[in-house]
Structure 1
Amino acid sequence: MTELATCLIGRWMHSHEEDTDTTEIYRPEEYAFPPARGRTGYEFMPDGQAIYIGIAAADGSTETHGRWELDADDRVSVTAEDPRIERRVLHVQDCSPDKLVLSR
């Protein structure tokens, strides 16, 4: 696994077609995804800013800004600026330039 703090940088979209019972798969935004009615994802910036990408009512995207930080070698916390959105803790199984694997 590439160093997590470096590997995370970029915009990752959920490739739900590749999920398993125990993992969620994310791919870089430019990945050739099959058609979908919307995709969730995350964008991690080097300065600790983050964006949670959600699915809008009309199948478009919504973006909620926040912050991210490493809690451990394999755990990332994402906190939204919107207090209605709970802090998310992502457990990273693997990270490479073309694939981010999270535990469910």
Structure 2
Amino acid sequence: MEQPPQEVFGNWQHAFEEDAHGIAVYRPAGNSFASSEGCEKLEIRQDGTFSRVVPGPSEAPDIIKGEWEQTKDKLIHVSYESPGLAPQQLEIIESKPDILKVRKL
């Protein structure tokens, strides 16, 4: 399986205040930036597994597990284990150790 750039792998926290023009910006989880509490988190692993952590209806977050595969250069397809969740395409716009930018297609 072809893999995205090495910098894509890891734990990422949505920095929604940096989003622009349909591009979602993520910073390494645990990195200090404004409005970090209650944000979506992603974990992209080299073994093809994927997790999304989203604020839940209670104080506990919901963890949504799935798998990813690279379908084209800089494009990954994510399918979720939870019934009723549609697969998602993520276009990798930029990946560096301190930032991940994706467009959700």
Tell me which interval the TM-score lies in, with the shorter structure as reference length.
Answer: 0.7 to 0.9
Could you report, residue by residue, the CA deviation over 1:32-62 in whole angstroms, capped at 9, with x for unpaired residues?
Answer: 0223551112111111111111111135421
Amino acid corresponding to residue 25 of structure 1 in structure 2: V
User: 2:22, 2:52 → 1: CA distance?
Assistant: 21
Separation of aligned partners in 2, 1:64 and 1:35: 22
Q: Could you tell me the TM-score, scaled by structure 2's length? A: 0.85
CA distance in 1, matches of 2:77, 2:93: 15
Match of 2:67, SS state, is strand
How many residue pairs get aligned? The number is 102
- Residue in 2 that maps onto 1:42: 42
Kept in 2: contact 1:38–1:59 (CA 8 A): no
Give the TM-score, by structure 1 length. Answer: 0.86
Identity rate, percent? 25
In the alignment, which residue of structure 1 is the partner of 2:94? 94
Give the alignment of 1:62-101 within 5 angstroms: 62-101=62-101
* Deviations 1:43-93, CA, capped at 9 Å, x for gaps: 111111111111111354211111011111111111111121110100111
- Which amino acid in the other structure matches residue 82 of structure 2? D
2:15 and 2:36 in contact (8 A); partners too:
no
CA contact (8 A) 1:37 1:59 kept: no
Tell me, in whole angstroms, the C-alpha distance in 2 between the residues paired with 1:12 and 1:31. 9
Q: Which residue of 1 aligns with 2:27?
A: 27
Contact 2:13 2:36 in 1 (8 A): no
